[in-house]
Chain A
Amino acid sequence: MFRHTFLRYAVLALLAAAALLRALTAGYFGLEILAEILILAILVLALDMVAGFGGMVSLCHGALMGLGAYAYGVLCVHAGLAPLPALAGAIALTGAVAWAIGAICARAHGIFFIMATLAFGQMAYSWVFETPLLGGDDGLGGIPRPDLSLLGIDLSDSRSFVLFCLAATALAYGAAVLVLRSGLGRSLGGVMHNEQRMRALGLTVWRVKADVFGLSGMLAGLAGALAAMQVMYISPGLLAWTTSGEALVVVILGGLGTLVGPLVGAAAFVTLKHGLSGVTSHWHLVVGLILIAVVMSRANGLFGWLEARWGARLDRRLADATREDTPREATNDA
């Protein structure tokens, strides 16, 4: 189950403030980078939900994101739905597909689970390529952004769109926290720790996995729809397994099972990518070296490292400060 700590709140507030500041002040290119970070942030939140809190390391989240993008695109372009209902439809559809994948893969563990999800991702990838309705190789263009003129918001403006993405990321984070703190989230924690025992207690383990995978898929679908809106075009490359791999790298880089860590990871990853790609074409190499360093350090990612150093200490300080009236000696004497 997910718990907020002082450190998590602090880093979250810091991230939110930085994103808001950038959203209000950055120029066009900065806004594009920020939108990319926020969309990736939603995807890695979705992935951390299943991988970090359920031990379900998925290599199909990129494909789910792509599916969300295509669903949104097709519902807008071919079905003539308004963007907002299309967005809802895309989220629901991606969630349903993810639920089915989760249900089928629920009995697989470890490397077999990873391979099974990879297979589903690759199936979606090749299906998209071969479906004329989706534009095949050429992708799908002319994707609209939602019309929020009723609220006085024009999403064709980059700044407004980035703020829209920021709101979506905040919602996604809130949803992930709610799910992980619910009865379902608690069961998921139990399943990750000892699946056999949870079963012996009467829990239908595959349903727990499928439900969480489905909910995670809904977030991936949201990320995909936002990605489609951002560039107003969908390329089948979005479904490639490398998207999933990259998301996994970001989650591990940030800190598996911390939710906040992957957000840090997303910001660091995209910033690094754009910062380095101007200097060297080997930016993947640098990211790879950093990943190796993080993994070898045996810390749980960048945020996990921070948590191990400061998390407990900060919480203890805070607890002591709020509990000043009860004398500490009394407990020490016992």
Chain B
Amino acid sequence: MLETRDLTKSFGAMQVTRGVSLRLERGERRVILGPNGAGKTTLFNLLAGELAPDSGAVLLAGEDITALPVARRARRGLSRSYQKNTLFDGLSVEENLGLAAAVHCGQGMRLWGDSLARPEVREIVAEVAEMVQLVPHLHARVSEVSYGVRRQLEVGVALATRPSVLLMDEPTSGVGPEMARGFHRLLADLPRSLTLLIIEHDMDLAFDVADTITVLNYGEVVFDGLPEAARGSRLLQEIYMGDWSDA
């Protein structure tokens, strides 16, 4: 479904992505682990098209999308959420979801009438609100809801474009362990047809949702395989000593 071939990216002299080749099957749920600065977010930026790789290719559903701009990739079903919230602060939770759903429904350029009143837009908003448990908060402004709810909305906005591949950059960063676990249960309930690529800092949490695990270190894939194998890997324990012992 999503594939990268030998992706590389440098910022100046610093190589942040080194020959990353990944392959996600349709419906696969993969967690990317790695310490801070390992190049996880940069990899997402390369996948979403917000950065251009120095070399290598990105393929979506078998087609080379390396040269496609961000918006075109999104329209092909590749959606992402961000490590730092990118919500529309002055708007309500419902309007945030609606804005995304409207773009997906081709209502984003509509000149006549409010896009958020369209039945197909409302339907997506209701569905996504259900999926990420935002129903009680729909009418609250973003500024009025808790940080945890905002993290849910950050993913909800990405989901409202009805993607086939969803990239989530540390969806639970900054929320407490209890809430993070709840969030992961919620991710586990997402439709199986959706291909998920999740960056997770906390190793223990990663095992909740992952079918497969990829570990990045210094921009390089140092592990790629099943969670059980990851648990036993000595290399991983070394890289991840801190989080590992916490778990």
Contacts of B103 on A, CB cut-off 8 Å?
Answer: 187, 198, 201-203
Interface string of A190-228 (1 = CB under 8 A from B): 100110111111111101100100000000000000000
Contacts of A202 on B, CB cut-off 8 Å?
Answer: 71-72, 74-75, 103-104, 161
Contacts of A62 on B, CB cut-off 8 Å?
Answer: none
Q: Looking at the complex, which of A86-94, A134-142, A176-184, A289-297 is the stretch in contact with chain B? A: A176-184
B79, CB-defined interface residue at 8 Å:
yes
Pick the contact of A183 from B69, B74, B109 — CB < 8 Å? B109
Contacts of B89 on A, CB cut-off 8 Å?
Answer: 193
In A107-138, the 8 Å CB interface with B consists of none
Contact: B108 with A197, CB < 8 Å? Answer: no
Q: How far is the CB of A200 from chain B (nearest CB, A)?
A: 6
B196, CB-defined interface residue at 8 Å:
no
CB within 8 Å for A182 and B115 given contacts A196-B50, A199-B74: yes
Most buried by B among A197, A200, A204, A205: A200
Q: Give bound CA distance, A148 to B103, whole Å.
A: 43
B58, CB-defined interface residue at 8 Å:
no
Contact: B74 with A184, CB < 8 Å? Answer: no
A-B CB contact pairs (8 Å), 16 listed:
A178-B111, A179-B111, A182-B114, A183-B115, A186-B114, A187-B109, A193-B88, A193-B90, A194-B88, A198-B99, A200-B48, A201-B103, A202-B103, A203-B103, A204-B71, A208-B109
In B23-59, the 8 Å CB interface with A consists of 48, 50
CB within 8 Å for A207 and B48 given contacts A200-B74, A201-B157, A202-B104: no
CB within 8 Å for A186 and B112 given contacts A193-B89, A201-B103, A203-B103: no
B-to-A contact residues, CB < 8 Å: 48, 50, 69-72, 74-75, 79-80, 82, 86, 88-91, 95, 98-100, 102-104, 107-116, 157-158, 160-161
Contact: B114 with A183, CB < 8 Å? Answer: yes
Q: What's the interface size class on A, roughly?
A: 20 to 34
Contacts of B114 on A, CB cut-off 8 Å?
Answer: 181-183, 186
CB within 8 Å for A200 and B88 given contacts A182-B110, A186-B115, A208-B109: no
Q: Give bound CA distance, A201 to B114, whole Å.
A: 18
A sample of 19 more A-B contacts (CB under 8 A), given A202-B72, A207-B109, A208-B108, is A178-B111, A182-B111, A183-B108, A183-B115, A184-B108, A187-B103, A189-B91, A193-B88, A194-B88, A196-B50, A198-B103, A199-B74, A200-B70, A200-B79, A200-B158, A201-B74, A201-B104, A202-B104, A205-B71
Contacts of B100 on A, CB cut-off 8 Å?
Answer: 201
Nearest B residue (CB) for A211: B109
Contacts of A201 on B, CB cut-off 8 Å?
Answer: 71, 74, 79, 99-100, 103-104, 157, 160-161
Q: Give bound CA distance, A208 to B99, whole Å.
A: 14
In A87-103, the 8 Å CB interface with B consists of none
Q: Give bound CA distance, A187 to B108, whole Å.
A: 6
Q: Give bound CA distance, A196 to B88, whole Å.
A: 12
Contacts of B74 on A, CB cut-off 8 Å?
Answer: 199-202
* Top 7 A-B residue pairs of the complex, sorted by shortest distance between their CB atoms: A183-B115, A183-B110, A202-B74, A202-B75, A197-B86, A183-B107, A187-B108
Q: How far is the CB of B14 from chain A (nearest CB, A)?
A: 23
Q: Give bound CA distance, A196 to B157, whole Å.
A: 13
Contact: A186 with B99, CB < 8 Å? Answer: yes
Contacts of B71 on A, CB cut-off 8 Å?
Answer: 199-205
In A133-184, the 8 Å CB interface with B consists of 178-179, 181-184
Nearest A residue (CB) for B108: A187
Q: How far is the CB of A215 from chain B (nearest CB, A)?
A: 8
Q: Give bound CA distance, A4 to B142, whole Å.
A: 20
Pick the contact of B70 from A184, A190, A194, A199 — CB < 8 Å? A199
Contacts of A187 on B, CB cut-off 8 Å?
Answer: 99, 102-103, 108-109, 115
Contacts of B109 on A, CB cut-off 8 Å?
Answer: 183-184, 187, 204, 207-208, 211
Contacts of B113 on A, CB cut-off 8 Å?
Answer: 182-183
Most buried by A among B48, B74, B108: B108
Contact: A183 with B111, CB < 8 Å? Answer: yes
Q: How far is the CB of B58 from chain A (nearest CB, A)?
A: 15
Contact: A190 with B104, CB < 8 Å? Answer: no
Contacts of A194 on B, CB cut-off 8 Å?
Answer: 86, 88
Contacts of A189 on B, CB cut-off 8 Å?
Answer: 88, 91
Q: How far is the CB of B202 from chain A (nearest CB, A)?
A: 25
Q: Give bound CA distance, A132 to B113, whole Å.
A: 44
Nearest A residue (CB) for B80: A200
Q: How far is the CB of A214 from chain B (nearest CB, A)?
A: 11
